Amino acid sequence: MKPLSPVDQMFLWLERRTQPMHVGGLELLTPPAGAGPDWLARQVEELRKAVRAQPPFNRHLVRRLGSWLWTEDEDFDLDAHFIHMALPAPGRVRELLALVSQLHAAPLDRARPLWEFYIISGLEDGRFAIYAKIHHAMVDGVAAMRLLRKSMSEDPLVPAIAPWTMAPRVQRDEASPQAPRGAYSSLAHALANVRAQAATVPAVARELYRSIREGRENPDYVSAFQAPRSILNQRISGSRRFAAQSYAIARIRRAVKQHRVTVNDVVLAMCASALRRYLLDLDALPARPLIAMVPLSLRRDGSDEGNQIAMVLANLGTHVADPLARLAVIQGSMLDAKQRYSRMGPAAMLNYVATVMAPAGLNIATGIAPRWQSFNVIISNVPGPKRTLYWNGARLDGMYPVSIVTDGLALNITLTSYVDRVEFGVIACRRTLPRVQRLLEYFDQGLAELEGESGAAPTPPAGPPPAADAPARSRKESPKPARARRTRKG
């Protein structure tokens, strides 16, 4: 048996029927040249032969002494995890995204290993899709990306590997003895965590005091309870809407060079501009700026299992109409957060985040204090492959993250890089947030603001509109984008 870390267990404690805590990804692939009509069916049959899963894909949950542990599934059944299905005609991207929305809304069965893998055929343009979901208690975004890369190859002639047959690398401390196994392993693990956390108390206390002081002196500084209430922060249903789009990295890099900021600053500015337009459409833009929670990877080893993440609170400056002034607010907010974390080690960072985020976690778990709003939206940027990948000779055309929404956080924006593009995946509660697919257009407009020109059209997953539902006319026209200056003073 293997105990789960406190962070991994958190994703189990927060899970409910209306907020399953798994992450996923949608990949679009083009079959190799000369592939016959039965090519995909043959690939599926080969995958069905991979009936022996490796850890963590062969582990399911058990509970001992109040904690969750992983144990090997003695009756592992591949048919419960690997599914081949076809889209109904006409097989547009619209139908594909609607299907992914439904699949992602369904919780994983805790009596089995917490993952599913789908091959989806029937796209009208001859391509096929892979959709996979895996519980956040098993992996974080960086680990999931590494598993994807290991299952594919940069060489189209190299056969693909079934992801569940690959044993992930785990972080090991050779200087310390192996953790005890059995009924008392979770207790020993818990005691070790208590000792490590106690050592971080002085550093965490110093940063909390500093954050309170700086919050009084700097109006753009982000404190734990600065986030305003908004329509993004309502209770959710179990329904989901997923939308996806691609944008050229070259455009983002031009904006980075022009304004002397980071790629993450530009991405957050794109999201801030889109959210400002979207909420103006609905006459629901708060007077105070929206706050984003931006996950920060602490993974410094080669492992691809478990969670090693902290969180940054970023001021999105949505109260500011000028796009460059908004970018300056975002940049300053991110610099403040990075400087704070640079003064702490990984353990202190995790405990600082736990202290600051505790009210948000309490609300997600119980909903008893909805006015305690730590942040309004999650925006996550996961680095992806820099070279074209292939799956049994099929070219990977696009990869779109599918993440998590919860009570009080009805929208999640996750993106990843792939070769020369940035792939956005937007997931939202279908009932809480109407017409969320409009954000795809608004991301592009936000980037064009920073370019000072109209910009090139975004690259969709395929020809039809990349949304599960057709766009509806807004109740209020969006404001025209402010014309950005081509140079920035200072």
DSSP code per residue over 321-352: -SHHHHHHHHHHHHHHHHHHHHTS-HHHHHHH
Secondary structure (3-state) at 378: strand
Residues 6+ apart with CB under 8 A from 47: 82, 119, 162
Instruction: Report the chain's terminal Cα–Cα distance, integer Å.
Output: 57
CA 179, 181, 187, 189 torsion: positive or negative?
Answer: positive
**Where would I find the H helices in 90-184?**
93-105, 141-151
136 is catalytic: yes
Listed residue (59, 75, 72, 74) closest to 113, CA to CA: 59
Report the greatest alpha carbon distance in the chain: 67
Cα 460 to Cα 96: distance, rounded to the nearest angstrom: 13
Answer whether 408's CB lies under 8 Å from 364's CB.
Answer: yes
List the beta strands (DSSP E) in 103-179. Answer: 115-121, 128-135
Answer whether 403's CB lies under 8 Å from 380's CB.
Answer: yes
- In the set 135, 136, 189, 259, the catalytic residue is 136
- b/e per residue 356-377 (b: at least 16 CB within 10 A): bbebbeebbbeeeeeeebbbbb
- Residue 490 is given by DSSP the state -
Listed residue (384, 355, 289) closest to 327, CA to CA: 289
Q: Token pair 């996750």 is at which residue?
A: 414
Amino acid (one-letter) located at 382:
V
Answer whether 64's CB lies under 8 Å from 186's CB.
Answer: yes
Secondary structure (3-state) at 5: coil
Cα 19 to Cα 23: distance, rounded to the nearest angstrom: 11
Listed residue (270, 181, 193) closest to 5, CA to CA: 193
Instruction: Give how far Cα 196 sits from Cα of 86, 193, 218, 432, Å.
Output: 50, 5, 33, 41
How many of the other CB atoms lie within 10 Å of CB of 50? 14
Answer whether 319's CB lies under 8 Å from 287's CB.
Answer: yes
Point out the residues that are catalytic.
136
